[in-house]
Amino acid sequence: MSVRLKVPTQLRQLTGGAPELDVEAASIRELLEKVGGDHPELLERVLDEGGEIRRFVNLYVGDEDVRFLEGIDTPLKDGEVVVILPAVAGGQDPMPS
Amino acid sequence: MAQVRELRCRECDRTYAVAPVHVCEFCFGPLEPVYDYDAIAASVTRAGIEAGPRTIWRYSPLLPIGDGVERVDLGTGCTPLIKADNLARELGIKHLYLKNDMANPTHSFKDRVVTVALTAARAMGFTTVACASTGNLANSVAAHAARVGLRAFVFIPADLEEAKIITTAVYGANVVAVKGNYDHVNRLCSEIAQTMPWGFLNVNLRPFYSEGSKTLAFEVVEQLGWEAPEHIVVPAASGSLLTKVHRGLSELHRVGLLDTEPATSIHLAQAEGCSPIVAAFRSGIDHIRPVKPQTIAKSLAIGNPADGYYAARVVRKTEGTAEAVSDDEIIAGIRLLASTEGLFTETAGGVTIAALKRMAAAGAFQDDGRVVALLTGMGLKTAEALSGRLGPTVEIQPDLEAFRQALDFLDLEGPA
Ligand SMILES: Cc1ncc(COP(=O)(O)O)c(C=O)c1O
Ligand SMILES: [Zn+2]
């Protein structure tokens, strides 16, 4: 099961500049674990301490946000493309000092 | 950009030089301008602002643009704040004001964010600007870009109202209709932004763009005689406007333009068919569960709102409320506003009025404080939402007798 992971510009310094990684994986979880083996810092940016997808990270399989699928347990088919993107926020609430 | 020292990550406090970057490369948190509030406080005064231009640029000390920078300005801001006694009576609200942001150059509040963002974009040397839009932003970017000869690409969901497409294309912008919803458009733009040297308003220019929304709060306070209202009702799509209205209120106190920290409750309005922020607020969790939008309020149809998390927190922190309203309530809201106050707002405004009605009925304004509802966009752009529901009262032959008969007929039917 070979899938392709697309890495956003903000994280490419953690993959030696590579914009894409080809990985053998049958689920998002397995994909991230394998990528995390070679690039532990990349994994840390995508998942929080509890192993959940971080608030400001969006993960897509093909066209779909994995939050509409099975989240981190979403299965992957051969040839599928997984995209990591920042969730693009710009607001705030409390005042800075 | 004189008064902005740097950009700072809202989540982890890492700082970045002022540049077209929008997310923290460490945690993907949003970046925002850091102002030297003490320096601003030392020079800004109410009188100084009142003597400024009748546009949002009267608040330039609190905008992320330096003094000498040439502005991209169509005359946005200083829109009317209207005392709405008829609607107030109808809804049982004691003191109701409407902020008529339909009076902006392209008839929505988006002109506020665009005049700031395109000014920043030009100062940074961009020659092409772009945005993902549910319609109003597209109008505004196209118009401002035309004014200063910037090339514009606007990306919209293909099913947008025809009027919004025409009122964008007319300015000569490149309109890219994407076969998908706004969340698809937004994602596409994030990907394009990584490959094109363009200024994307809601991507790499977002820290500058979103600051423009603060001016709605500044104006409301100035128009109330430099007092903050007790309540503001804000329609939310991405949640950026709502969070920035709150930020604007706090800043007025921080720089000494208000003596006390505003105790304004911020209330949030969404359409039932796209209410992920209301859902997060109600469930008491901060996590936004994205939804697939299904509503006539297309300008608010963002299923995965980038600032939803912050918006829900602002509502909670300020002891506001949140309401989601049905399409029928939206239409009724549009008609109620028009028939009581003579203002024709778009579907997003219908959401605001319908939510206002629900909030009043639920007792959200029982303190009898001043309530300000933001009318952020105008009705002609979404007139098609009313088609089939409204038309001529009667149609007659061109003769007096026919009209007499019609009058009799109407009398029999009684006033609707
Ligand atoms: C008329 C109108 N009102 C309100 C909003 C909400 O803006 P935000 O995305 O900042 O929540 C929009 C956004 O497109 C809009 O077009
Ligand atoms: Zn950060």
List residues bridging with B231 in a β-sheet: B265, B371
The answer to whether residue B255 is domain-embedded is yes
Chain B touched by A87 (CB under 8 Å): yes
The answer to whether residue B169 is domain-embedded is no
Task: Please tell me the distance from the alpha carbon of residue B184 to that of residue A63, in angstroms, as a whole number.
Answer: 8
Chain B touched by A97 (CB under 8 Å): no
How many C-beta neighbours within 10 Å does residue A50 have?
5
Residue A13 has pLDDT above 80, yes or no: yes
Strand duo B199-200 + B128-132: pairing: parallel
Give distance in angstroms: CA of B165 to centre of ligand 2: 37
Residue A73 has pLDDT above 80, yes or no: yes
Give distance in angstroms: CA of A81 to centre of ligand 2: 27
Pocket flag, ligand 1, residue B308 (CB < 6 Å): no
In the sheet with B231-235, reading across from the earlier edge strand, the strands are B81-83, B95-100, B370-375, B231-235, B265-271, B322-325
Using a pLDDT cut of 90, give the percent of chain B over it: 85
The residue among B155, B162, B111 whose CA lies nearest residue B129 is B155
pTM comes to 0.92
The answer to whether residue B125 is domain-embedded is no
Nearest-CB residue to B290 (from A9, A13, A65): A65
CATH number for the domain spanning A8: value is 3.10.20.30
Judge contact between B350 and B334, C-beta under 8 A.
Answer: yes
Give ion ligand 2 contacts, CB < 5 A: B 9, 11-12, 14, 24, 26-27, 29
pLDDT in tens, B360-405: 999 999 999 999 999 999 999 999 999 989 999 899 999 999 999 9
The answer to whether residue A93 is domain-embedded is no
Nearest chain B residue to A71 by CA distance is: B289
Query: B194 vs chain A: nearest CA distance in angstroms?
Result: 7
Average pLDDT of the residues in B23-35: 89
The answer to whether residue B40 is domain-embedded is no
Contact A93 B317 (CB under 8 A): yes
Q: How remote is the C-alpha of B29 from its chain's centroid?
A: 22
What pLDDT is recorded for position B409?
82
> Which range is least confidently modeled, B5-9, B25-29, B80-84, B354-358?
B25-29
Query: A80 vs chain B: nearest CA distance in angstroms?
Result: 17
Residue numbers in B near A71 (CB within 8 A)? none
Based on DSSP, count helices (H) and strands (E) in chain B, helices before strands: 15, 13
Pocket flag, ligand 1, residue B239 (CB < 6 Å): yes
The answer to whether residue A52 is domain-embedded is yes
Q: Side-chain half-sphere of A50: how many Cα atoms within 13 Å?
A: 4
Range of the domain at A27: 2-86
Q: B133, B161, B241, B310: which to mutate for ligand 1, most atoms within 8 A of CB?
A: B241
pLDDT in tens, B294-340: 999 999 999 999 899 999 999 999 999 999 999 999 999 999 999 99
Q: Which amino acid is at B65?
A: I
Nearest chain A residue to B206 by CA distance is: A90
Residue B94 has pLDDT above 80, yes or no: yes
What pLDDT is recorded for position B233?
98
Of A29-38, B231-240, B405-414, where does the model show the most confidence?
A: B231-240
Task: Please tell me the distance from the alpha carbon of residue B291 to that of residue B314, in angstroms, as a whole number.
Answer: 21
Nearest-CB residue to B194 (from A8, A13, A63): A8
Pocket flag, ligand 1, residue B134 (CB < 6 Å): yes
In this prediction, residue A93 has a pLDDT band, given cuts at 50, 70 and 90, of very low
Residue A90 has pLDDT above 50, yes or no: no
Ligand having the closest approach to the CA of B14: 2
pLDDT in tens, B252-298: 999 999 999 999 999 999 999 999 999 999 998 777 889 999 999 99
> Which range is least confidently modeled, B101-110, B212-221, B387-396, B402-411?
B402-411
Range of the domain at B306: 81-107+210-386
Strand duo A2-6 + A20-24: pairing: antiparallel
Task: Please tell me the distance from the alpha carbon of residue B324 to that of residue B251, in angstroms, as a whole number.
Answer: 29
The answer to whether residue A94 is domain-embedded is no
CATH number for the domain spanning B244: value is 3.40.50.1100
Structural domain total, chain B: 1
User: What is the ipTM score, two decimals?
Assistant: 0.75
The answer to whether residue A26 is domain-embedded is yes
Please state, in angstroms and as integers, the Cα–Cα distance from residue B270 to each residue in A68, B223, B305, B324, B382, following that order. Answer: 21, 26, 12, 5, 17
The answer to whether residue B57 is domain-embedded is no
The answer to whether residue A74 is domain-embedded is yes
- How many interface pairs between A and B have CB atoms less than 8 angstroms apart? 110
The answer to whether residue B230 is domain-embedded is yes
Structural domain total, chain A: 1
In this prediction, residue A50 has a pLDDT band, given cuts at 50, 70 and 90, of confident
In this prediction, residue A95 has a pLDDT band, given cuts at 50, 70 and 90, of very low
